[in-house]
Amino acid sequence: MLLTGTGPMLSVLRNRTYRHLFTAQVVALTGTGLATVALSLLAYDIAGNHASTVLGSALAIKMIAYVGIAPLIGAVANRIPRRALLITTDLTRGGVAMVLPFVTEVWQIYVLVFLLQAASAAFTPAFQATIPEILPEERDYTQALSLSRLAYDLESLFSPALAAGLLTLVSYNWLFAGTTVGFLASAALVLAAAFPKPVPVERTGGAYAKAAFGTRLFWITPRLRALLALDLAVAAAGAIVFVNTVVIVRDHFDRPASAVSLALAAYGAGSILTALTLPRLLRRFTDRTVMLPAAFALPVVLAAVAVLTVRIPSTGTWAAALSAWAAIGAASSAVLTPGGRVVRRSATDADLPAAFAAQFSLSHSCWLLTYPLAGWLAAGAGLPVTAMVLGGIALTAATAAATSWPAHDPARLEHVHPDLPAGHPHLTEARRCAHGWQHRHHYVIDRHHHRWPGRAHTTTGQHAATGTRPHR
């Protein structure tokens, strides 16, 4: 199913290491999907009609783990063999899934969910940082990003259906067993993959300084500041999908429970179709040209959702709601999928684990803000107000991204080093100027470059149009 209609995108699977890791990702995602269904049933068994409170708290714990753990793991990721880190986190997640069927108290669920999500917060950024090392060519990496987006979207459609089928044969506790098998299979596939030799990190300082570097990288680099704003725009639109769909479908449109799945499937279909077209699109246009219009589309769609939730429900408005959900999925995919390219372009190879860890943490901070906001506003002010407020956040975030990310954003920048001595290895081909040594190369924040050069120092390089990563 994952391979249907992807065409040339599948050529990237000829790389044996990537094929193993992608398969590991798909298997682990399927196991996670089964665990999500099983956990909701477990919460109902333990807490009864308070299950929603338990699950809401578990979701908050998940986000806290993501926000707090990822930067710390990113700080030490290069000290730990990448294969060992990925396998350890898979085994940890499998062990937690194995224990979950035996819990009897709500607090035990919270502890185990934190351990599970802390392991995921370690696994995901490390996995993301490994892919560009395995696939150094920009075209291959773009295809890998699209396949990863497809994996997430198809899992959201496939896992609930698989869980429903299994529950006709076994109790929900066996779904946790399926989750464990999924993580063990993922660990085995990672073990079988051949990893590239890690790039040494040339940075001093303690764990805190290294953890803070990724956040500082996002704050100083204009395109990364824009990426964070774009993540907030997606989180604002996504929150109304994941938090309010059930209320919109059941209360406003008075549709049966099965219509909730239909609405979420419309969102997933929009995302999938966009992911399929992005590799070809990104060969013709820059990341900025694709991502910014998609971000500005989100507040427009949310304004339409506000109108739809005011109007008297009808067949026409229901069809329009499904179209809106598909549009949110498509626009979100167009923003999120190229994000890995932006991160990759903005960090050295050695700093990629810290950069992806920071992106993982900061983007989930956006969701930690919009998830409860969507719930509280819907309960207190109604759905139209919720859609308008979240649309306002999305519009503000998209505008901030457009302001932060220069339209002319070359990879190679002219800049001056006032503090490096003559003969320093970094000054190859540099020329003496009034304020130090001046040269041009692919510019990122690292130990030799502590701030972003002013626009007066930028110059068009051969990679300005494509955003590719030249050799450093």
In a domain, 17, yes or no: yes
**Same domain, residue pair 95 and 233:** no
Mean pLDDT of the 23-51 span: 82
In a domain, 472, yes or no: no
Bridge partners of residue 458, in order along the sequence: 413
pLDDT value for 80: 78
**Same domain, residue pair 237 and 102:** no
* Domain closes at, from 182, 198, 214: 198
In a domain, 466, yes or no: no
CATH code, domain with 257: 1.20.1250.20
Helix, coil or strand: residue 181: helix
pLDDT band at 5 (very low <50, low <70, confident <90, very high): very low
Q: Which of 71, 124, 141, 133 is nearest to 287 (CA)?
A: 141
Q: Domain span at residue 314?
A: 206-407
The pTM of this model reads: 0.79
pLDDT band at 52 (very low <50, low <70, confident <90, very high): low
**Mean pLDDT score across all residues of the chain:** 83
pLDDT value for 284: 92
pLDDT value for 205: 53
Query: Regarding predicted confidence, which is higher, 183 or 357?
Result: 183
**Same domain, residue pair 389 and 307:** yes
Mean pLDDT of the 124-140 span: 86
Long-range contacts of 372-381 (CB under 8 A, 24+ apart): 372/60, 373/239, 374/239, 374/240, 374/243, 374/244, 375/56, 375/243, 375/244, 378/243, 378/244, 378/247
Mean pLDDT of the 317-327 span: 94
pLDDT value for 3: 42
pLDDT in tens, 342-355: 998 888 877 788 88
**Same domain, residue pair 23 and 112:** yes
pLDDT value for 281: 93
pLDDT value for 444: 76
Mean pLDDT of the 26-54 span: 80
How far is residue 124's CA from residue 121's CA, in Å, rounded to a whole number? Answer: 6
Lowest mean pLDDT among 129-143, 391-405, 418-432, 450-464: 450-464
User: Can you list the alpha helix ranges (DSSP code H) found in 309-452?
Assistant: 315-336, 339-345, 352-380, 383-404
Determine the residue type at 444.
V
pLDDT value for 387: 95
Laid out side by side, the sheet with 436-442 consists of: 412-417, 436-442, 431-433
**Same domain, residue pair 388 and 434:** no
Q: Which of 403, 380, 383, 397 is nearest to 299 (CA)?
A: 397
Q: Count CA within 13 A, CB hemisphere, residue 108.
A: 14
